Structure 1
Amino acid sequence: MEHEAIVLDPTGADIQGESARIRARGPVALVELPAGVPAWSVTDAAVLKSLLADPRVSKDARQHWASFINGEITEAWPLHPWVAVDNMFTAYGSDHRRLRKLVSPAFTHRRTAALRPRIATITEELLTALASTPPDESVDLRERFAYPVPIKVFTEMMGVPEHLGPGLHKCVDGFFDTSFTPEQSQANYIEMYGLVCELVAYRRETPGDDVTSVLIATRDEDDGSQLVEKELVDTLMLVINAGHETTVNLLDQAIYALLTHPEQRADVVEGRVPWSDVVEETLRYEAPIAHLPLRYAVEDIEIGDIRIPKGDAILASYAGAGRDPKVHGTTADQFDIHRTNKEHLSFGHGAHFCIGAPLARLEAAIALPALFARFPNIRLAVDPAELAPVGSFVSNGHRQLPVFLQ
């Protein structure tokens, strides 16, 4: 008997419970996105890894998504900005290779490593500001720490001038809010597009040693081509959105996990377990991006007794894959920094592997130990059950993370 598709909750109220229900239907299961749009959710880690590297799977809606091509998906669809941009996030095959080659110089190992002292300084400044909080007063660590660390790093790295910063940050939040109405989503996208165009114009006039200036100037050595204007703006939108939200959630979820697992917290704070184990286990246990829209079947794809028809949408369900019992056994739903295999796909896999993964890991590796060293008595200010998730099935974090620092 065929099941009805599981309707994804746009408010993300129970991402892991929902992922478990999808997984119970098999390695690939039909889900419903906003406005009744169907997609195949992949929660099986081995199947997802294989599909992420499969040339029969595309990210280009214009070429390969039947519903997009025949006009069923319009600008009124809340997730339209996710699928309609022109950048390496939505490119396929040789297009993707060309764009990635042009963007890669902005994310070299050297450029990332050079940010270490600046990340440490930003972290220190934020912790010093937090230290003035009265002992009996709670503070929202998502807003005051998990959010500003990557935002400040990113703003400087991208060369965003001060006057454009606040507007861009507000738009990034809106981009991930899948509970937005179509009108809100569209207005947010238009506003962000305008701000990024302003950023490009500003850096054309005043180039610096920043990612935006590098992307404006980069040419392909082989053929002299460079990013055309829409690709440039869309690429910057991708980098700003992806590079900020993922790290905010990584910091938020890691802090929450340690505050709710005191023995493990003691092991890492006292040096029995490296901080890198906390980072990788957090990425596995609570993937910062729960479900990533979208990919498409270039041709019919058989997975066991399931056939994904050509032109259908595929949803990479990283939150579900991170807790796959076939990989992580009966303890897959437990946070455990001691587990030997912390394998996850939270940064993707294959051609579209996240170009900013080393930066996210570096920020977490600096910010987390500094926080727990500065505030050894930090504790949650509310019952864990009271914490609400951000309004999204894409972004996986808490709306607030209230703590007492002293």
Structure 2
Amino acid sequence: MPDQGQTIVHDVPLNVAQQPDPYPLFERIREHGAVQRVRLNPALEVWMVTGYDEAVSALTDPRLSSSPVRVNGLAEEMARQERTNVLMASMLVADGADHTRLRNLVSKAFTARRVEELAPRVREHTDAFLDAIAPKGSADLVAEFALPLPMAVLSELIGIPAEGQPEFARLAVGLIMPPNTPERLAKGARARAELTAFFEPLIAARKAEPRDDLLSALCAAQAEERISDRELTAMAILLTLAGHETTASLIANGVHALLRHPDQFAALRDDPSLLPGAIEELLRYEGPVSRGVARFTVEDFEIAGVTVPAGEMIIIGLAAANRDPARYDRPDILDIARREMPQQLAFGHGVHFCLGAPLARAEARIAIGSLLRRFPDLRLAAPDEVLTRREGILRGMATLPVTFAPQG
């Protein structure tokens, strides 16, 4: 049993999302208590929440802000970011009335009813991508399926033309890199500038000729002064980034996990009714957000017997909480037929709960269900130990080579 009076700072590397198995690290941290001091790099120490109940509490507590502007020692940098970083105008870092206003502008596009209406198009896109790989008998499921599928779906929903999708995907890479070096900070700044330039003509076109897409709806809101020009651009970038990379990672991670557990693969292949629960278990077991989400204390904040001073950063470890043994039986075991499973936290919790969760779930169900139905003999084409994960703050496969019996 650790000495509870001892102050320990645990190292959590910025590339934790790329590690083959980061979960033992989170468990070692949790053994010292649900809230611990961690070091993200030599110059940055923050607090990390690894317990499930504590994570839920933190995600719903109004004393924690999503905006980093009040963090100790960062006032000058945050002032610069607010001037130069368009995403500082997004609902990702908004609180209170501003967050509610921005979220309400787009929430109707992601309701259960709207997602149900989109499902036939998701199936059409899914079938098209699977038709393309079926005759070959092999594929990289990341490049040929998991990445292009959510981009195709989101592009229709938001209003990105097909010819612009590859360029957007290229620019998006610069915004999901952890900002731990001057070079990556500069790359992120260039990507934001280029993405702003990417959306400017699209926004102008929708203002001139509205269509039945989300970008046109946002332009109408801007005309009514419910959203500023900068907020509109930030919203367009955020929605496409969040809905593309996270869903792609969910699909690829899920398939990879099933292929590594042949009994679970076979169970799901033979009984598609398990799909809804399987998606929740895959989100819990290997969700796209590994390190966690950041919150900032606006006043002294006590959690799990620990007092975090005002002006501090707290990382709420979603992946760590999803494997908390106090909440889940055998948390390191993949079990797609879990019973009475508490709600997993891969999509967050509270007012910042992922807006696109219904669409992501639907895409994953359709994508993984169709894949197993079409290719029941699917198997990895490379040893698991040589597979790598995409660079960035999200946890997702870089490649996923597979083989199967050719069709057609």
Tell whether 2:73 aligns with 1:67: yes
Partner Cα distance (1:171, 1:25) in 2 = 40
**Secondary structure of the corresponding residue to residue 132 of structure 1:** helix
Question: Which of 18, 27, 33 pairs up with 1:26?
Answer: 33
With over 3 angstroms needed to count, the CA separation of the structure-2 counterparts of 1:147 and 1:215, relative to structure 1, is same
Unaligned runs of 5+ in 2: 1-5
Q: Give the Cα–Cα distance (whole angstroms) in 1 for the partners of residues 18 and 386 of structure 2.
A: 12
Please tell me whether the aligned partners of residues 66 and 294 of structure 2 are also in contact (alpha carbons under 8 angstroms). Answer: yes
> Once the two structures are superposed, what CA deviation does each residue of 1:132-155 show, in whole Å capped at 9, x if it has no partner?
21x4xx421111111111111011
Q: Return the alpha-carbon distance in structure 2 between the equivalents of residues 81 and 323 of structure 1.
A: 34
Structure 2 counterparts to residues 220-369 of structure 1, below 5 A:
225-271=225-271, 274-329=274-329, 331-340=330-339, 341=341, 343-369=343-369
Number of equivalenced pairs: 392
Is the CA contact 1:380–1:403 (under 8 Å) kept in the aligned structure 2?
yes
Residues in 1 aligned to 2:200 and 2:147: alpha-carbon distance in whole angstroms = 24
Check conservation: 2:107, 2:355, Cα contact below 8 A.
yes
Question: Is 1:400 paired with 2:399?
Answer: yes
The match for 1:196 among 188, 196, 199 is 199
Q: Contact conserved, 1:106 with 1:214, CA < 8 A, in 2?
A: no
SS in 1 for 2:234: helix
For 1:54-133, what aligned pairs fall within 5 Å after superposition?
Answer: 54-62=61-69, 64-71=70-77, 85-133=88-136
- Shift in CA distance, 229/9, structure 1 to aligned 2, threshold 3 Å: same
Say whether the 8 Å CA contact 2:175–2:192 is kept in structure 1. yes
TM-score for the superposition, normalised by structure 2: 0.90
Residues 108-163 of structure 1: per-residue CA shift (max 9 Å, x gap): 33322211110000000001000121x4xx42111111111111101111110234
* Structure 1 residue aligned with 2:18: 13
Which range moves more in the overlay, 239-248 or 1-10?
A: 1-10
Asked if structure 2 preserves the Cα contact closer than 8 Å seen for 1:253 and 1:397, the reply is: yes
Where does residue 9 of structure 2 map in the other structure?
4
Residues 47, 313 of structure 2: 8 Å contact kept:
yes
Residue type matched to 2:52 in 1? A
Using the alignment, how far apart are the partners of 1:205 and 1:342 within structure 2? 47
Q: CA RMSD in A?
A: 2.2
2:208 is equivalent to residue 210 of structure 1 = no
Stretches of structure 1 lacking an aligned partner (at least 5 in a row): none
Shift of 1:21: 3.4
Change in CA separation of 1:118 and 1:384 when aligned onto 2, cut-off 3 Å: same
One-letter amino acid of the structure 1 residue matched with residue 268 of structure 2: V
Distance 1:390 1:112, change over 3 A: same
Residues 163 and 271 (structure 1), Cα distance of their counterparts in 2 relative to 1, 3 Å cut: closer
- 1:136-215 correspondence runs (5 A): 138-178=138-178, 181-215=184-218
2: CA distance, partners of 1:250 / 1:338: 18
Report the Cα distance in structure 2 between the residues aligned to 1:72 and 1:37, rounded to whole angstroms.
16
Maintained 8 Å contact 1:279/1:361: yes
Give the AA of the match of 1:243.
Answer: G
Shift of 1:218: 3.1
Going from structure 1 to structure 2, the CA distance change for 1:191 and 1:22 (only over 3 Å counts) comes to farther
CA contact (8 A) 1:288 1:396 kept: yes
Shift in alpha-carbon separation, 1:73–1:380, aligned structure 2, 3 A: farther
- Could you report, residue by residue, the CA deviation over 1:337-392 in whole angstroms, capped at 9, with x for unpaired residues? 12211531111111111111000011111111111111111100111122112223
Q: How much has 1:208 moved relative to structure 2? A: 0.8
1:49 to 44, 56, 68: 56
Q: Is the 8 A contact 1:286 1:322 kept in 2?
A: no
Which amino acid in structure 2 is aligned with residue 343 of structure 1?
Q
- What is the distance in 2 between the residues matched to 1:96 and 1:405? 46
1:210-251: CA deviation from partner (whole Å, max 9, x where unpaired):
11111111379xxx6411011111111111111111111111
Q: Which residue of 2 aligns with 1:386?
A: 386
